[in-house]
Structure 1
Amino acid sequence: MSIADFSGRIRPDACPGALQVHEAADGPLARVRLPGGAASAAQFRALAGCAEEFGSGVIELTSRANVQVRGLRSPAAFADRLASAGLLPSAAHERVRNIVASPLGGRCGDGVLDVDALVAELDRALCGRPRLAGLPGRFLCAVDDGSGDVAGLGADVTFTGEGSGGGRLLLAGRDTGLGCRPEGAVPLMIAAAEAFLDERPDDAPLAWRIQELENGPARITARLTRHPAAPAPTTAPVTAPVTPPVTAPITASAAPPERPGARRRAGRRTQRDGRVALEVLVPLGRLTPAQLRALADSGPAVRLTPWRTAVSLDLTPTEADDAEQALADAGLITDPASPWAGVTACTGRPGCGKALADVQADARRWVAELNADDRAPATPVHWAGCERRCGLPRGPVIELVATADGYRRSHPS
């Protein structure tokens, strides 16, 4: 039996992809899945070229570390170019390759798990099972390195590393009590995704997430524990959402620990191997093709994050100096105290037909008019083009919602 959260839906999930585009007000929009927010430098450059040649030049980062390209003039040619770049490994599965991962990948702080290999293995396993092409486009997997940065995002299926060298499985953010070594993580996560399809009622295909199934985490856990290859429970299953541990922000100077779910900040962090991770803010989550190329050239490994930032990894201190200067010159934010920290906005006009204002332009104008001494607002500020408030961040937020008579300001409770 399913709960009523999706009772008002009248059609199956129409989440856009690279092949199934969304007809936005400013033209077709494609969403390109980048599992773990990862792509090679050549692939990032190919995306930049696609946005210039086939689109309007607007590249958006999503809260799942994917990218959207707006205003496509030839969706078919766009998709062909992506396939040539290796960004569409399975046409049937391209909308279900939803995997977020800890951007630092076990390199710093409490992170103990190298997520890159697990993300690649999970992506191959998803694409290798024809049945899993039937997952909704909203179904989300996560691989947490043990720092807790993505474990708190409420993904449908999460594997999070632990200091003992093992890890545990979360379903819809809840601890299942099931744990295994990292080499068993992908089979366990795939089994959980298949169990979701088993538990989803045949007459309710509009259930898109595990949390939309009544007692979904418990029912799927029961299926997993009956599986012949199921790992033994490591703890008693609980029903409360897991609270991820506090993680330190990536900043060059000392700063208070970052609250789980708080906004990410720009700056540097020293990796365990002595190299540097450099995070940059992307104003309002929008990149130009030139900025994406600058990111591609910034270091040996680049990861997009669920906070609409980007991290360049494995830099020497000298390389970090050069990358910081180049990315700042490209218009990306390297100062952790910049007024851009915590300022977000939905698409607004002209891209969204429901929007009542060009919130992107208004937010940029608002930041530009701040005094030079102004720093990041103490509370995040979100600009919304209508009452739907798309893209609203988690946690306390000051909302500026466009109405027919200007903006309505609301304060966090």
Structure 2
Amino acid sequence: MYFNEEFETLPRPALEALQLKRLQVVVERVYANVPFYKDSFDKAGLKPADVRSLEDLQRFPFTTKQNMRDSYPYGLFAAPLEEVVRIHASSGTTGKPTVVGYTQKDIETWSELMARSFMAAGAHRGDIIHNAYGYGLFTGGLGAHYGAERLGASVIPISGGNTKRQIMIMQDFGSTVLTCTPSYSLFMAEEASAAGIDFKKLKLRIGIFGAEPWSEAMRGEIEAKLNLSAIDIYGLSEIMGPGVAIECIEAKKGLHIWEDHFIPEIIDPATGLRLPDGELGELVITTITKQGIPLIRYRTRDITSITYEPCVCGRTHARINRMCGRSDDMLIIRGVNVFPSQIESILVGIEGVEPHYLLIVDRKDNLDTLEVHVEVDEGIFSDEIKILQLLSKRIEKEIKDVLGITCTAKLVEPKTLQRSEGKATRVIDKRKF
């Protein structure tokens, strides 16, 4: 089923013609209204009239998160504040927050794209959507909320935290769709199990999970423990929030990115050059309908690949593959590029290991070291020391065989690693560069 069949199934030539028309308008708009873009375009010797085809986009300079911080708070807004009806911002844990503004039209667009996303995931008007994304400056909660209302479903705006109450509400209210981070969903499953609650007796049938990288193995773990179909959703505050791209329930093979509103590119993060379809690289997105803060060639730092092959669901929009990490949190250990999600995939496939882990990277005697802290289930942890030693060795061997890096595995008791109701902390890098 489609929320907006006309646009979700546009033939490729019509979709690209629409993209070009909208791109030309937005480039004109930012050049006229945003000093940062006028300066960067001028320095590159480019004018809005230079956009004659979609291929011309790659001639234009990138926009980065640092550019947004340098323009804090409103320097990149293309609309006057009196037209901005909502402001969101990142947490700012690694610097000044990145601030984004939405006009009323932006809110309407975002709501429709989230409604499209819910329907692509298999949700419908009759659903009760349990929204455990955080509300506030973070875009997740309100983005999903407005999309659920636009879909016509019933939304429970429970936000994060108070997990026991969340489970009670899901039981009592008959929630059918769960939205939260994948790591939090597993924490819910833990808490339910400890309370003797069987997720198979709940009415949940779909889980829409995003805001952090997760593996196919973790999908299997979630689906088994929560008794639902787990769908990957993608978004980022700078571009819009959740609902930039989502898997369809029919295929669950790549996330449809809504190309009538965003132009995706995959680049080599080192050279900035565009890569061929199917190659792994950094996702760059240009917004072509946003009014409050349009962004041209925004470097997301998310690593993925893209395909334009037809999908069985009938949607014509390109699909990006599951995010396998970020170009700026990629670990380089003794010359080997490693993403936390790769280690997660290995751990989840080992019997007796729980999907909760922490990677501690350090440098000793000028050599990188990796320590993998991982929880094991109650039965394994209470077993004899020899069994635990064998499990540690197996983890170390699997990581060495698959990724080519040496590590030390440290098994810890269940529920001892810190839990998160939002994005899980997976890496502590103690190295000094």
TM-score bracket, shorter-length normalisation: under 0.3
Q: Tell me which protein shows more helix as a share of its residues.
A: 2
Q: Given the two structures, how large is their TM-score scaled by the length of structure 2? A: 0.27
Higher-Rg structure is 2
Q: Tell me which protein shows more strand as a share of its residues.
A: 2
Q: Given the two structures, how large is their TM-score scaled by the length of structure 1? A: 0.28
